[in-house]
Amino acid sequence: MPRIHLYAHTDKNFVKKGDKVIKHVTPIGTVGTGNGQYYAHLHYSISEGLTPAELKAYVAGWSKSKVEQYYRNPKDVDFNKMFGTKVDVGNFGYDWLQWIGYGYHPGVDVNGLGGGNTDFGMPFKSACDGTVIFEERTWFKNGGWGNLIMVEESEPAPPEPECNKKCPKHCKS
């Protein structure tokens, strides 16, 4: 099942559906406010087993175990490399699986260190290698999302075969 990385509340989207992105190299957007709904931050999540339409429907009313079934903890993502600077993850905004009044937060909110809207317009790069499968720019509140980007993570390349004397066709020496 492919993993989908969701970037929400963006101000500007630099990519469109079908674009290939490279981890920590391809700039994909800037931090926004969900079209004026929130203080500036990037909502980021990793899902597995959900379609873009299901992701947009959000997790209102889901149990904690159901969120854990479809979303992955983004603790291993290097957000400082994504942003090219030190950022706050889940302290100024919501953290992974934090109760938010109507469900459990399926990702993390990433903020600059200045507070308020000081991070508005801050550029960020893709957290994975992959392909943009959904991109939406809107002036509407869009169910709380504002502008959205979804990237389907590429499958890692298979490892090179190990060479030994019994496998001469792969050996170069």
Q: What is d(CA 113, CA 89) in angstroms, rounded to the nearest whole number? A: 10
161 located within any domain: no
- Phi first, then psi, for residue 66 (nearest 5°) are -70, -40
- Residue 12: CB partners within 8 Å, gap ≥ 6? 29, 30, 32, 121, 147
Question: For the whole model, what pTM was predicted?
Answer: 0.88
Evaluate whether 87 touches 79 at the Cβ level (below 8 Å): yes
Give the end-to-end CA distance of the chain in Å, rounded to a whole number: 39
Evaluate whether 43 touches 109 at the Cβ level (below 8 Å): yes
Instruction: Give residue 168's pLDDT.
Output: 56
159 located within any domain: no
Look up the domain containing 40 and give its range. 3-153
Q: What is d(CA 110, CA 43) in angstroms, rounded to the nearest whole number? A: 6
Instruction: Give residue 160's pLDDT.
Output: 64
38 located within any domain: yes
165 located within any domain: no
Q: What is the DSSP letter of 32?
A: B
Total tally of structural domains belonging to the chain? 1
- Tens place of pLDDT for every residue, the chain, 173 residues? 799 999 999 999 999 999 999 999 999 999 999 888 899 999 999 999 999 999 988 888 899 999 999 999 999 999 999 999 999 999 999 999 999 999 999 999 999 999 889 999 999 999 999 999 999 998 776 778 889 999 999 976 666 666 655 655 555 54
| E strand or H helix at 12 | strand 3-13
Instruction: Give residue 165's pLDDT.
Output: 59
* Residue 170, phi-psi category: left (phi > 0), alpha (psi -120 to 50), beta (remainder): alpha
**Residue 111 buriedness (CB in 10 A; 0-12 / 13-18 / 19+):** buried
Evaluate whether 92 touches 84 at the Cβ level (below 8 Å): no
